[in-house]
Amino acid sequence: MASKWGWAAAAGLVILAAAGAYFFFGGSTYQAEKARIGPAVEAVYATGTVEPVRMSRAGPKIAGRIVAMPVRESQMVTKGDLLVVLDDTEARSRVAELEARLDLAKAEQARVVRLFRSGNISASARDQAFTNTQSAQAALNAAEAQLSEHHIRAPMSGQILRFEDDPQVGDLVRAGETLAILGDPSQLWIEADVDEEDIPQVKIGQRALIRSDAFPDRALEGEVRKITPFGDPVRRSYRVHIALPSDTPLLSGMTTEINIIVRETEEAVLVPTSALAGNALFVLEDGKAVKRNVAPGTIGRTEAEIRSGLEAGEIVLLDPAGLEDGMRVDAALPAE
């Protein structure tokens, strides 16, 4: 399992160990504590990265050399704004050449139409003139499309979050390479990876406790918004998106640790984790250690939930290694 509880204790949502000095009766061979009532939380642990809900990448379809970068990182842009210009000298020359050819074809077409109307040329000659004009137009359209590929534009309205690999004017770029990442910074979520063994417990709408090294003293929360239906067979994990509130202090690109709350119990029976011996523990009855089979629930670093087999107020023995059922023992209870 991938549950972790170390940092979540600060949020007050995990089972908490009782504290206090011990007083003794009889010998001091074994320490003991009373099972108590308290809150318990079961969670699935994951790590993730903060990202905009809406995000897109921009890059060239062709290879080329950067000649201009009219925008900068963090700048807000509108869909279609120019981000990067590749050297388009040859492409522009080609467009200019084909524009001139089209002008000539149109002029020739007009001349041929006049001659056809006066009966001086055949219909086939007229049709050929129209075909030549259409071919010139198609060639120009293709050249203009190729020219446009030298101009990398914003695929969406939003903020330029990052230029990948810090491209500079004069750099050569490859076809298909990502140059810029854009996103809408007003709505963020966390993209997290959850182990495949834990994913059956994760549901849309579950609360998530979030920890970030950037804000170590703040209790941050989110909500499971999306679960991908197909996992990664190599990493053996599923992608889960955790929605964040609009006032979150987290920023795009920050790494986080997440505990997705899959079960909460306000009045659970709790014992020290050290009392457990697998699915059993020892209860103190009339000065004897009595072995009791139990059904543990959430198991934390200091305390464990007992879902059945034990009542609050019963005394359990800690560190039971060496105990046997029916063994007479001396015990030490913590002060009330």
Encode pLDDT of 245-290 as tens digits: 989 999 999 999 999 999 989 999 999 999 999 999 999 999 999 9
- Among 191, 159, 162, 190, which Cα is nearest to 178's? 162
In a domain, 160, yes or no: no
Helix (H) or strand (E) holding 143: helix 123-148
Helix (H) or strand (E) holding 158: strand 158-163
Q: Do residues 3 and 32 share a domain? A: yes
Summarize the confidence of residues 202-216 as an average pLDDT. Answer: 96
Contact 155, 58 (CB under 8 A): yes
Quick count: other Cβ atoms within 10 Å of Cβ 255? 13
18-76 per-position pLDDT tens digit: 333 333 334 347 899 999 999 999 999 999 999 999 999 999 999 999 999 999 999 99
What's the whole-model pTM score?
0.67
Q: How many helices (H) and strands (E) does the chain have?
A: 2, 23
In a domain, 321, yes or no: yes
Q: Do residues 225 and 101 share a domain? A: no
Q: Do residues 332 and 192 share a domain? A: yes
- Among 322, 44, 11, which Cα is nearest to 198's? 44
In a domain, 298, yes or no: yes
- Residue 336: its pLDDT value, please? 65
Q: Do residues 276 and 320 share a domain? A: yes
Q: Which domain holds residue 120?
A: 57-70+80-155+168-173
Total tally of structural domains belonging to the chain: 2
Q: Is the pLDDT of residue 178 over 90?
A: yes
Q: Do residues 121 and 208 share a domain? A: no
Q: Do residues 44 and 142 share a domain? A: no
Question: What's the mean per-residue pLDDT of the chain?
Answer: 90
